[in-house]
Amino acid sequence: MRELAEKFLIHLHNKNFSRHTLRGYGKDLEEFADFCQLRQAQPAQAFTPAFIRSFLAALSAKHPARNTMLRKIAALRSFTHYLLEQDLLKQNPFKLLPAPKRERLLPKFLTPEEVERLLEAAADKGRLAARNRALFELIYSSGLRRSEVTGLKIGDVDSFNGVVKVLGKGNKERYVPVTNEALAAIKDYLSTRPNPQYQDALFLNKNGTPLTGDGLAYIFKHLAIKAGVARRVSPHSLRHSFATHLLNNGCDLRSLQEMLGHKNLSATQVYTHVSLDKLKDVYQHAHPKNKGA
């Protein structure tokens, strides 16, 4: 089972799947391989509806969060499709197994005041202050995903047109506007770098090598504590803040969808829930029956 899983991951790598996806699928399939080993099940026995159902039951006891379960099921489904394509399986066991619906979680976002405190903490003293300020100014100004911001090259920043070229999910390129503050912060940061080249990674860690997603999460965690943000937040919270604050200030959903790199508008519509207070405020001021109240 482990050898098949390794071949599957190599197949995904050759199709340019992101490192984040490969790492997640690798962990999920390792869990499935451990379960197969525990039950002494060969691939022919493992890919049956009854065996998959028993594995999912064990998963649900270990991982009660529905969306975690869904991610693990997606990894196993994708693995199954690969085995079918390679003629290593004759039947798809998932055809007889209904998939649980995804739990709609409202995104965690920061208030404008919290964002300002975070940006001030990032720009505070220290050898890496210029980098940290540029890093978080850019994420907040453009709503980039963690993998997108760490994958940027210096040449992806177009200061003349005020945009950044981003390689998003599915290797799809898009151009996202950048604030003047973020561009200025990037310029200041690059001035601290010896001989920066267009093809170099935009953000480096303290050792001078490209910043990773885990490194970004580590920096964010410590700066959030320094800024006095008590809630549990992550770099993705800045992306959520970007989207929520734009909607609250009149941005339309289609434009926001394009900036966020969402394939479907339904993924963007989740932000309308967290903007309900703004909608109520607009309603109170716009409805004829409320005027003068």
Residue 277 pLDDT greater than 70, yes or no: no
Residue 135 pLDDT greater than 90, yes or no: yes
Residue 291 pLDDT greater than 60, yes or no: no
pLDDT, tens digit, 9 for 90 and up, residues 92-127 = 888 766 666 655 555 678 888 999 999 999 888 788
Residue 235 pLDDT greater than 80, yes or no: yes
pLDDT, tens digit, 9 for 90 and up, residues 177-224 = 999 999 999 999 999 999 999 999 999 999 999 999 999 999 999 888
So what's the pLDDT on residue 60?
A: 78
DSSP string, 168-217: -GGG-EEEEE--HHHHHHHHHHHTTSSS--TTSBSSB-TTSSBPPHHHHH
Do the beta carbons of residue 130 and residue 192 sit within 8 Å?
yes
User: What residues does CATH 1.10.150.130 cover in the chain?
Assistant: 2-96
Which of 25, 82, 140, 271 does the annotation list as catalytic?
A: 271
> Is 2 a residue of the active site?
no
> Is 273 a residue of the active site?
no
Which of 145, 146, 240, 245 does the annotation list as catalytic?
A: 145
> Is 13 a residue of the active site?
no
Per CATH, the number for 112-282 is 1.10.443.10
pTM of the model: 0.64
Averaged pLDDT score across all residues of the chain: 85
May I ask the CATH architecture of the domain 2-96? Orthogonal Bundle (1.10)
Confidence of residue 292 (pLDDT cuts 50, 70, 90): low
Which of 71, 117, 146, 239 does the annotation list as catalytic?
A: 239
Task: Mark 158-177 as b/e (b = at least 16 C-beta within 10 Å).
Answer: eeeebbbebbbeeeeeebbe
User: What residues does CATH 1.10.443.10 cover in the chain?
Assistant: 112-282
* 136 compared with 105, residue with greater pLDDT: 136
What would the mean pLDDT of 233-255 be, rounded to a whole number?
A: 87
Which of 131, 146, 240, 262 does the annotation list as catalytic?
A: 262
**Range of lowest pLDDT (144-148, 167-171, 224-228, 257-261):** 167-171
So what's the pLDDT on residue 169?
A: 81
> Is 174 a residue of the active site?
no
Do the beta carbons of residue 216 and residue 20 sit within 8 Å?
no
Distance, in Å, from the CA atom of 215 to the CA atom of 258, rounded to the nearest integer, reads 27
Any idea which residue has 């404008």 for tokens?
112
pLDDT, tens digit, 9 for 90 and up, residues 31-75 = 999 988 888 888 777 888 888 888 888 877 776 666 777 888 888
So what's the pLDDT on residue 289?
A: 67
Q: Where are the alpha helices (DSSP H) in the chain?
A: 2-14, 19-38, 43-46, 49-62, 66-85, 112-122, 129-142, 146-150, 180-190, 213-226, 235-248, 253-260, 265-269, 271-274, 276-286
Query: Cα–Cα–Cα angle for 43, 9, 267, nearest 5°?
Result: 105
Which of 108, 169, 174, 221 does the annotation list as catalytic?
A: 169
Contacts of 156 (CB under 8 A, 6+ apart): 164, 165, 166, 202
What would the mean pLDDT of 238-262 be, rounded to a whole number?
A: 87
What would the mean pLDDT of 248-258 be, rounded to a whole number?
A: 86
In three-state secondary structure terms, 167 is strand
